[in-house]
Amino acid sequence: MAEQVADEGNLTDGFNLVIDALKLNDINTIYNVPGIPITDLGRYMQAAGMRVLSFRHEQNAGYAAAIAGYLTQKPGVCMTVSAPGFLNGLTALAHATTNCFPMILISGSSEREIVDLQQGDYEEMDQLAIAKPLCKAAYRVLHAEDIGIGIARAIRSAVSGRPGGVYLDFPAKLLAQTMDAAAGEQSLVQVIDAAPRQLPAPESVARALDVLKGAERPLIILGKGAAYAQADDAIRAFVEKSGVPYLPMSMAKGLLPDTHPQSAGAARSLALKESDTVMLIGARLNWLLSHGKGRTWGDKPKKFIQVDIEPREMDSNVEIAAPVVGDIGSCIAALLDGMGDNWSAPSADWTGAIREKVETNVARMGPRLQNNNIPMNYQGALGALRTIIKERPDAILVNEGANTLDFARSIIDMYKPRKRLDVGTWGVMGVGMGTAIAAAVETGNQVLAIEGDSAFGFSGMEIETICRYELPVCVVVFNNGGIYQGAGVNPSGGSDPATTVFVKDSRYDKMMEAFGGVGVNATSPDELSQAVNAAMDSGKPTLVNAVIDETAGTESGRIGNLNPQRVVAQKT
């Protein structure tokens, strides 16, 4: 370890100031990959009592920081080396921004003088310029006395308003810069009220209630912004008082239990198609809701009410009849207040039709989830895991893949808020292990990661990290031998495998054993159940290789319609 010379006398240095500024703002966990120029910073952080988790790839450290931000409402911090490390972390920073998760990417960089004259420094890159379009804000700190203000700006930018990713550039020389210790201490900034409440205008609340009251077939859609807001009790009270059926978006599942009588989850198509008025709470009308387009009821366009902290989100895709701009906690409190004591629920025709559809669909699904087929199909395997989550509602479910994602989302009921973490707005593969690690670190809860075999491959090396930190993570790899299916063939008849298939009969469980974790090969729902329950009882890092029928999945899961369709015959 380099000698920390500035710790003595009346001098301090950049290392100390970064650590003190983070700790002053209650940021005590860092997700990183060490190297020049931040190796010692990580060591000094650890020495100062911070938790510094070292990953095998920056992208995974970044995804960990992003989801830590979502879970805690404080920016998750990822720290990387310059150029390649920075770029590896940047995907996660962009992902955090896209998903409205507060995150800070701190990267070491080369000296400005060399970068700007393009003189070819070690890992030279104009990182600030590259980060800018991919995040909410990007700052560079050149002087030790500005570290406090730089970190304060980064925190406030990440969490205030619509949360997002912030890039913080620390040129190597900054860390070793010294200054008077007392002046250094005074330069630190404690961010007061980092995400101030944003109260909605009273008239916007009244307008929203009018539109909702006038609806014949209203529907509430809860998004992950609602889950992020941690206004769980108020949201539940509002939904219950309104009597309106609701649909949770993927990561909002569990905000109210999926078994709630007002949940339209199992009647999603009907609810989306037949509603005349939709109230969005922390959910965007993006591709996941078909941009709100083509959505009519009878021959009239649907009406939309939208509750969101970002004013520019309104009218992004269709006209919003009643925009309510503010933080969800304040907005829902105002809406509840405005409803008074005589709010009448929507007609029983509408709520009854949804309920009936939910019950039919649930009853139809039941027997399929109990099949004991070998090899397993998605229903059999997920039926087993569904029971485990029901019995252990505090466990955090991490989920990625195509079929593995789509089936798990619809089959596994969630019971508590922020317990389902997945691919988010981009549908990105590779979030799995970083997300699982941060979920375990930030909450201390047991984590169950349900991973397509392809999805797992993007971050699989982090199982070493899971073993190293002895985290209570059970990874289940849905091994169907490929992307969507394992049964593809090379259309040319050549000897290369098809583009979507992997090595047959792989044993991902043996990877876990290589690092001292528990590995289990499960070929039936019973074996799967047993292995996952044992993992959750023991809390030991475990990987279960769940053998899935290679023909069970469909192309692109449930979004195959988004694939471009070829109209011209192939030239050979």
Query: Does position 63 bind ligand TPW by CB under 6 A?
Result: no
Distance CA 325, CA 327 (A): 7
Q: Which C-beta is closer to ligand ADP: that of 148 or that of 254? A: 254
Which of ligand ADP, Mg ion, ligand TPW, none has residue 434 at its interface (CB below 5 to 8 Å by kind)?
none
Peptide bond connecting 375 to the previous residue in cis, omega within 30 degrees of 0: yes
Degrees (nearest 5) of the Cα angle 390, 438, 328?
75
Q: At what angle do helices 14-24 and 147-159 cross, to 10 degrees?
A: 40
Beta strands of 112-237 (E only): which ranges?
137-140, 165-171, 178-180, 218-222
Query: Does position 425 bind ligand ADP by CB under 6 A?
Result: yes
User: Cβ 508 to Mg ion, closest distance in Å?
Assistant: 11
Alpha carbon of 546 to those of 414, 455, 462, 551: distances in Å? 22, 14, 19, 15
Interface positions, 536-565, toward ligand TPW (CB under 6 A): 553, 557
Interface positions, 451-480, toward Mg ion (CB under 5 A): 452-453, 480
Piece in contact with ligand TPW (CB under 6 A), picked from 262-270, 317-325, 464-472, 477-485? 477-485
Q: Which C-beta is closer to ligand ADP: that of 248 or that of 486? A: 248
Three-state DSSP class for 548? Answer: strand
Site pattern 533..572 for ligand ADP (x: CB under 6 A):
----------------------------------------
Which of ligand TPW, Mg ion, ligand ADP, none has residue 557 at its interface (CB below 5 to 8 Å by kind)?
ligand TPW
Piece in contact with ligand TPW (CB under 6 A), picked from 37-45, 121-129, 229-237, 397-405? 397-405
Binding residue for ligand ADP, selected from 79, 252, 332, 475, defined by CB under 6 A: 252
Which of Mg ion, ligand ADP, ligand TPW, none has residue 253 at its interface (CB below 5 to 8 Å by kind)?
none
Interface positions, 402-461, toward ligand TPW (CB under 6 A): 402-404, 427-430, 452-455
Distance CA 115, CA 124 (A): 6
Which of ligand ADP, ligand TPW, Mg ion, none has residue 225 at its interface (CB below 5 to 8 Å by kind)?
ligand ADP
Alpha carbon of 74 to those of 1, 31, 42, 193, 418: distances in Å? 30, 14, 20, 12, 15
Query: Does position 99 bind Mg ion by CB under 5 A?
Result: no
User: Cβ 502 to ligand ADP, closest distance in Å?
Assistant: 30
CB burial of residue 491 (10 Å; 0-12, 13-18, 19+)? exposed
Q: Which tokens sit at 180?
A: 């008077």
Query: Does position 328 bind ligand ADP by CB under 6 A?
Result: yes
- Residue 84's contacts (CB-CB under 8 Å, 6 or more residues apart) are 123
Which of ligand TPW, Mg ion, ligand ADP, none has residue 240 at its interface (CB below 5 to 8 Å by kind)?
none
Lookup result for tokens 């002087």: 143
Q: Which tokens sit at 203?
A: 């008239």
Strand-strand pairing, 76-80 and 396-400:
unpaired
Distance CA 542, CA 121 (A): 43
Binding positions for Mg ion, rule: CB under 5 A: 452-453, 480
Binding positions for ligand TPW, rule: CB under 6 A: 401-404, 427-430, 452-455, 478, 480, 483-484, 553, 557
Binding positions for ligand ADP, rule: CB under 6 A: 99-100, 162-163, 223-225, 228-229, 249, 251-252, 282-284, 286, 288, 308-310, 313, 327-328, 425
